[in-house]
C-alpha cells in the first residue's frame, strides 16, 4: 500500500477523483496514514463529537492493532468478539484520510472468515443498528456490536438464499 498512488484533483469544492475544469492535479500515496499526511480527524454533529487518535500516535496505534489483532484472531474462541474489537479499535484509530469504515469492515471479516463464516456485510436495513452498536462499543459495551454482526450476516445469508431459490 505504501507505493500505491491515487490521483487527486483539487478544485474549489475540494478533492475529487474526476474534474473537467481548472484544477490542480497531484498524487497521494494511498498507503499513507494520517501521521504522514498530518491530518487530524474529528467528527462533530448534533449526535456525535468524536476525536480520533492524535496524528503523532497513528502509526504506533496501527502497529498495536495489527499485533494484538493477530494474537486475538489466533487465541480468542469467539470470532464475533474478535471482529467487534478489531472494528472498534481500528475505527477509533482512524488511521487513513478516507476509507476507514470500509477497511474496518474488511479487517473485522478476517476472524469470521477464518472460522468459516462469511465476511461482514452490513445490509441497508441493518445500518442504523450498526451505527448505534458502534456508539455503544465506543464506550466499552461490545455485546450490541457482536449481536449486530451476527444478525447482519444472518440477514445477508437470508438474502442470498432468497435470491438463489
Distance CA 93, CA 88 (A): 9
102 carries a ligand binding annotation:
yes
Torsion of CA 122, 43, 68, 141, to 10 degrees: -70
Query: CA–CA distance from 136 to each of 44, 145, 160 (Å)?
Result: 17, 8, 29
99 annotated ligand binder: yes
Query: CB–CB of 88/120 below 8 Å?
Result: no
27 is in an annotated binding site: no
Whether residue 105 is annotated as binding a ligand: the answer is yes
Is 131 labeled as ligand-binding? Answer: yes
What distance in Å separates the CA atoms of residue 84 and residue 108, rounded to the nearest whole number? 7
Residues serving a catalytic function are 94
Is 97 marked as binding a ligand? no
Residue 20 assigned as binding residue: no
Residue 53 CA to chain centroid, in angstroms? 14
For residue 148, what is its C-alpha cell? 449486530
Annotated ligand binding at 98? The verdict is: yes
Is 49 annotated to bind ligand? Answer: no
Distance CA 31, CA 97 (A): 10
* 34 annotated among ligand-binding-site residues: no
> Contact, 23 vs 7, CB < 8 A?
no
Binding region for ATP: 98-105, 130-131
Detail the residues annotated as belonging to a binding site. 98-105, 130-131
Amino acid at each position: 500500500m505504501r507505493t500505491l498512488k491515487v490521483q487527486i484533483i483539487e478544485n474549489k469544492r475540494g478533492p475529487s477523483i474526476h474534474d473537467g475544469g481548472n484544477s490542480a492535479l497531484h498524487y497521494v500515496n494511498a498507503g499513507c496514514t494520517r501521521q504522514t499526511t498530518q491530518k487530524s480527524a474529528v467528527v462533530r454533529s448534533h449526535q456525535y463529537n468524536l476525536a480520533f487518535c492524535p496524528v503523532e500516535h497513528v502509526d504506533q496505534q496501527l502497529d498495536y492493532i495489527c499485533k494484538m489483532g493477530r494474537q486475538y484472531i489466533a487465541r480468542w474462541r469467539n470470532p464475533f468478539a474478535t471482529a467487534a474489537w478489531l472494528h472498534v479499535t481500528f475505527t477509533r484509530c482512524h488511521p487513513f484520510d478516507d476509507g476507514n469504515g470500509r477497511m474496518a469492515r474488511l479487517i473485522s471479516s478476517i476472524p469470521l472468515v477464518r472460522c468459516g463464516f462469511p465476511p461482514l456485510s452490513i445490509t441497508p436495513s441493518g445500518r442504523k443498528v450498526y451505527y448505534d452498536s458502534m456508539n455503544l462499543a465506543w464506550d466499552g459495551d461490545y455485546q450490541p456490536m457482536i449481536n449486530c454482526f451476527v444478525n447482519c450476516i444472518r440477514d445477508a445469508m437470508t438474502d442470498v438464499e432468497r435470491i438463489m431459490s
